[in-house]
């Protein structure tokens, strides 16, 4: 995982009036990207997307990202 100033991003977002943070991940394994396919009966069914989702109250961005990746793929990510 790259090193990003997540505290700075969060505080800048708050100053700009951002009320809900979201995160997304690009997972590269030997030059191949992981895409998820949405269930057919879901909103935008059948489309492909990156693991992503909302950061929960009290979470920092990296914790939210790690949780979303695990929830959506079953993979664990290094911190």
CATH number 3.90.79.10 is the correct assignment for the domain at 6-73: yes
pLDDT in tens, the chain (79 residues): 557 788 888 888 889 998 899 999 999 999 999 999 999 999 999 999 999 999 999 999 999 999 999 999 999 876 6
Q: Where are the domains of the chain?
A: 6-73
> In whole angstroms, what is the distance from residue 21 CA to residue 57 CA?
9
The residues near 49 (Cβ < 8 Å, ≥ 6 apart) are 35, 36, 38
- Mapping DSSP to helix (H, G, I), strand (E, B) and coil, where does residue 22 land? strand
Give strand pairing partners of 23: 53
From the list 12, 14, 25, 34, the residue with the least C-alpha distance to 63 is 25
pTM of model > 0.85: no
């Amino acid at each position: 995982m790259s090193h990003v100033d997540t505290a700075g991003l969060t505080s800048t977002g708050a100053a700009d009036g951002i009320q809900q943070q979201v995160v997304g991940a690009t997972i590269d394994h030997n030059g191949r990207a992981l895409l998820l396919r949405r269930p057919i009966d879901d909103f935008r069914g059948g489309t492909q997307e990156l693991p992503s989702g909302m950061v929960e109250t009290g979470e920092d961005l990296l914790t939210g990202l790690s949780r979303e990746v695990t929830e959506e793929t079953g993979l664990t990510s290094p911190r």
